[in-house]
Amino acid sequence: MDRIVLKTKEFMPRCLTTEQSAGAVAGIDLGSTRIKVVIYNGSSYIARMSDAAWDPEKTALELLAETSQEAGLSAPPRIIATTGYGRRCLATATITFTEIATHAKGAFFLVPGCRFVVDIGGQDAKGILLSSDGHVEDFVMNDKCAAGTGRFLSAMGQALGVPVDHLGAYAIGAEPHRINAMCTVFAESEVISLIHQGVSRNAIIAGLHASVARRTASMVASLHPEPPIAFTGGVSQNADIVQKLSKELGHPVIVPHDAVYAGAIGAALLAWEHHREQDKKEC
């Protein structure tokens, strides 16, 4: 799951010395299920991820140290920017950004020109409307209920004995069996009862995916999403949900490489801009 990716230059510092411009920054997304770290030096980034575990601060610091070493940093990152569900639990963070700001920034970097972002992570789902230059115009978010999130899918996968990263493969091409329950607890009972009735796992999983896609499309409908639409967060790795969400929205959704790192990438890019602003003031 860990990967290293080099990206082309996006932000070029204008008034920094070579030495200053080498000062990399870090973006850390402390998610509900996974922690992602991105080190960015103005021209390329390195991204790593780890399960959140029971001590997110310790996990984040260890991952930051590993990623910094991998990036060949001779000094700690100049700025450590955090985002995500646990963004306030890192005492050494220099700056904190909201998830909407970082996911918008990261998605626009990964899918240049996108006008809408759907992000479905472990604990929430959000839709973000962007201007042509990538600024947030409006957003909607479900962070009150697990239904329609990665946690819902993980719970259903457990009930069905299918790992969450295999759900997509089971469901593709299957005729969805309608799932009526919206609540995670009731949906779990419904799934167990369907298994006892002999309904195939593939049809049940396809039905669950259809319900996540319907729920997400109805949540973002008031923002009238128009293409290009970027789909980010862990659930974007489920190919069947990608298909069903595209159908519900009436437009294809684009899943960029590193879609799961969008929040951490956005935090690193915003940190870099912040660092550039600071240096301009000092120039």
Answer for the pair 59, 31: CB distance below 8 angstroms, yes or no: no
Least CB distance from residue 119 to ligand ADP, whole Å?
7
- Give the contact letters, 95-124, x = binds to ligand ADP (CB under 6 A), - = no: --------------------------xxx-
DSSP codes, 113-164: T--EEEEE-SS-EEEEEE-TTS-EEEEEEE-S-STTSHHHHHHHHHHHT--G
Lookup: tokens for 185 = 């607890």
Lookup: tokens for 212 = 């996540």
Residue 165 CB neighbour total at 10 angstroms: 13
By beta-carbon proximity to ligand ADP, the closer residue of 22 and 219 is: 219
Quick one: which of 56, 77, 127, 150 contacts ligand ADP (CB under 6 A)?
150
State yes or no: residue 34 binds ligand ADP (CB under 6 A): yes
Quick one: which of 21, 26, 32, 264 contacts ligand ADP (CB under 6 A)?
32
State yes or no: residue 233 binds ligand ADP (CB under 6 A): yes
State yes or no: residue 235 binds ligand ADP (CB under 6 A): yes
Lookup: tokens for 192 = 């167990």
* 200: Cβ contacts below 8 Å, ≥ 6 apart: 174, 177
Least CB distance from residue 229 to ligand ADP, whole Å?
17
Answer for the pair 44, 99: CB distance below 8 angstroms, yes or no: no
Least CB distance from residue 26 to ligand ADP, whole Å?
16
Answer for the pair 35, 260: CB distance below 8 angstroms, yes or no: no
- Subset of 127-146 contacting ligand ADP (CB under 6 A): none
* Residues near ligand ADP, by CB under 6 A: 29, 31-34, 84-85, 121-123, 150-151, 153-154, 164-165, 233-235, 237-238, 260
